[in-house]
Structure 1
């Protein structure tokens, strides 16, 4: 079964947390897809991942660029999996109909919108009902993740 994790952004924004989680996935040899809810958000994440840290390099691209299948981290707003990712990140309002093709699906949501929190709760119930292993992670005051 797929692990479906819910990461609750409380202390740091998505732009600070996402690169760290992607780096951990790459270290494990996993390919990733980051699914956003709009082309503008994909573009913003693409730019951010090139500049988030001077000392780091996170190889990535978007599904609008040539040869998306070669990207270890692929940014998209679509539901496909052209790079054969084992991990799918769903940010903001992105949704996924079937988690089963992945080793792990990670929902990332923040405190700023009660509707997003409610969607995360709904996603938790749906993943559990589908028989997936679910876990909830929350940021502490230093931005570290704690499993609750």
Structure 2
């Protein structure tokens, strides 16, 4: 508890967070991720996508340019905090990095509850075909519930990409 309070004082801007747990298959995760980024971008929200490596960030960078012909999502890969404000509405980072002004987190990799509480909305993926990742998601759900965060579960539906409101 004291550590959480210290994070609140030192880093500031922790807020009430809504967590969206979206079920998908491993093979579909990145496409569903791009669709979620597009959905929040179209609503005028600033999105931070966290990955677990520079290679994953570069792969998502390419996917965001090419996944949908009719859409264009201005974005940028950022590896470290910058002194100048970012103008891009979507940022992809290779590791958890809080960049102020981005209210939506889309997690391509594991994140902690302390990290995701810097965002008003956090999108997390539950991989239906990966038992270890499903268990990690259960533990994150339980921890978030214990902290009183708002939780939403979006079940997997074959042939129907989740585009919750």
Which TM-score applies when normalising by structure 2?
0.78
Aligned to 1:72: 89
Equivalent residue number for residue 73 of structure 2: 58
**SS of the counterpart of 2:86?**
helix
**RMSD between aligned alpha carbons?**
2.3
Mapped partners of 1:96, 1:141: distance in 2: 29
Contact 1:7 1:136 in 2 (8 A): yes
Which structure has more strand as a fraction of its residues?
1
Deviation per CA, 1:84-130: give whole Å up to 9, x if none: 21110112x32134233211111113223211000000010011111
Which has the greater radius of gyration?
2
- Taking structure 1 as the reference length, what is the TM-score of the superposition? 0.86
Could you say which residue in structure 2 is the equivalent of 1:43?
58
| Long gaps (5+) in structure 1 | none
- Between the aligned partners of 1:70 and 1:7, the Cα distance in structure 2 is 28
Moved over 3 A (4+): 64-68
Paired residue secondary structure (2:107): strand
Q: Identify unmatched segments of 5+ residues in structure 2.
A: 1-15
The alpha-carbon distance between structure 1 residues 127 and 141, as it changes in their structure 2 partners (threshold 3 A), is same
Q: Number of aligned residue pairs: give it.
A: 146
